[in-house]
Each structure stands twice: as structure tokens, then as C-alpha cells.
């Protein structure tokens, strides 16, 4: 075999190795973006909920009953009942009917019930119909929240929210009092129907 052929085979071999390394690097970076939620050009310093998920309720699942996760959870399906987790991500298309309790709750789907959380984020068209007991709330412009929000010191402690429920009852009585000048959603709906 001539030196030129050997040189061509050697260069070709190095080229294949370089292509394999590049392809492997691309595949690994794509896997990391999916696994850890890093978006190209986003420059995020913190990973999204995907990186920390321990439990997942898929879009084809429907559960009736109370769920308690010892760690973080993602919901893409339908749940009827109380849901507890350390961190909770309610994905687009997901539906939760019942009370939710977690340290950090992100809602991109629909929740009908009371949320107890330190931080609540409504984003990507997420909706909440119910009350929220929290320390911090963030609502994107495409999301919807109907209910009362209360800032409490320990939102995940149900005994502290019992006092808040009594205060809410008093607030509702004062809002619907006959001599009140405050418009409520109920009076607005009645006026629209007339």
C-alpha cells in the first residue's frame, strides 16, 4: 500500500472520529436541554421543574383520590382530589379539581380548588378558580385567576389558613352586604344577566 493511500485512510479515520465526537456532543447537549430544561439562548441560571421531577401523572391518566408525593411532581393528566408535593408543575392541558399543597406551584393547566404554597406561578395560559394562600404570586398576562389570594406567613400550615378562612368569610360578608358600595363578581354577573 502506498504512502498516499495510508495518509488518506489516516485522514479519513480522524475525520470520522471528529464527526463522531461532534455528533455525540450534539446529542448529549440536546439530552441535557430536555432533561434539565435549559433552552437555547435563554441563559437561565436555574433549571426548570423538569430537572427535579420525581413523580409524573401523564396526559392519558385520570386519578380520583388524594395523592401525596414525597418529592416534586408533574401533572399532565386529570386529578380529582387533594394533591400534595414538595414542588408541583401542572402542565398544559392538565386538570386538577381539589386542594393543592406544595412549596412551589407552577400552573400551566387548570386548577379548581384552593392552593396552599409559598410560591405560585400562573403561566402559559394557566387558570386557577379558587383561593390561594401564599407568600409570592406571579401571573402571566395570558393566565387567569378567579378567587381570593391571601399572603400568609406559613401557607402550607393548614392551621394558619383556618384563621384566614374565617377572615375570608368576614370579607365576603362585608362585600355582599346590602349597603355596600363595592361591586362583587356576583353582582356584576346579575347585572349582565338583566
pLDDT tens for each residue of 70-102:
889 899 999 999 999 999 999 999 999 999 999
Residues 41 and 95 in one domain: no
186 in any annotated domain = no
Residues 40 and 91 in one domain: no
190 in any annotated domain = no
Residues 163 and 133 in one domain: yes
Q: Going by C-beta distance under 8 Å and a sequence separation of 6 or more, which residues neighbour residue 102?
A: 83, 84, 85, 86, 87, 88, 116, 117, 156
Domain count, the chain: 2
Residues 136 and 152 in one domain: yes
191 in any annotated domain = no
Q: What pLDDT score was predicted for residue 42? A: 43
Residues 86 and 67 in one domain: yes
184 in any annotated domain = no
189 in any annotated domain = no
Residues 43 and 139 in one domain: no
Pick the more confident residue, 134 or 30.
Answer: 134
Residues 160 and 170 in one domain: yes
Pick the more confident residue, 109 or 19.
Answer: 109
Residues 158 and 65 in one domain: yes
Q: How confident is the model at residue 175 (pLDDT cuts 50, 70, 90)?
A: very low
Whole-model pTM above 0.75?
no
142 in any annotated domain = yes
Residues 79 and 41 in one domain: no
Residues 130 and 153 in one domain: yes
* Containing structural domain, residue 25: 1-47
Q: What pLDDT score was predicted for residue 28? A: 74
Residues 7 and 72 in one domain: no
Pick the more confident residue, 175 or 2.
Answer: 2
For residues 157 and 90, give the distance between their C-alpha atoms in angstroms, rounded to a whole number.
21
CA distances from 99 to 85, 146, 148, 185 (A): 12, 15, 14, 22
Chain segment 49-76, per-residue pLDDT in tens: 444 457 888 888 888 999 888 889 899 9
Residues 100 and 42 in one domain: no
Quick check: 16 pLDDT over 90?
no
Quick check: 146 pLDDT over 80?
yes
CB 165 within 8 A of CB 182: no
Amino acid at each position: 500500500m502506498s504512502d498516499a493511500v495510508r495518509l488518506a485512510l489516516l485522514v479519513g479515520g480522524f475525520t470520522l472520529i471528529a464527526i463522531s465526537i461532534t455528533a455525540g456532543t450534539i446529542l448529549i447537549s440536546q439530552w441535557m436541554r430536555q432533561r434539565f430544561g435549559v433552552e437555547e439562548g435563554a441563559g437561565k441560571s436555574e433549571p426548570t421543574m423538569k430537572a427535579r421531577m420525581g413523580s409524573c401523572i401523564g396526559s392519558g391518566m385520570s386519578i380520583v383520590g388524594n395523592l401525596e408525593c414525597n418529592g416534586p411532581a408533574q401533572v399532565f393528566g386529570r386529578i380529582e382530589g387533594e394533591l400534595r408535593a414538595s414542588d408541583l408543575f401542572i402542565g398544559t392541558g392538565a386538570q386538577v379539581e381539589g386542594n393543592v399543597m406544595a412549596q412551589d406551584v407552577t400552573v400551566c393547566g387548570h386548577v379548581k380548588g384552593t392552593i396552599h404554597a409559598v410560591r405560585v406561578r400562573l403561566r402559559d395560559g394557566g387558570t386557577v378558580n379558587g383561593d390561594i394562600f401564599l407568600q409570592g404570586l406571579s401571573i402571566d398576562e395570558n393566565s387567569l385567576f378567579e378567587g381570593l389570594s391571601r399572603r400568609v406567613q406559613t401557607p402550607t400550615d393548614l392551621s394558619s389558613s383556618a384563621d384566614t378562612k374565617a377572615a375570608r368569610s368576614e370579607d365576603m360578608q362585608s362585600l355582599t352586604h346590602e349597603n355596600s358600595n363595592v361591586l362583587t363578581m356576583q353582582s356584576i354577573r346579575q347585572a349582565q344577566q338583566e
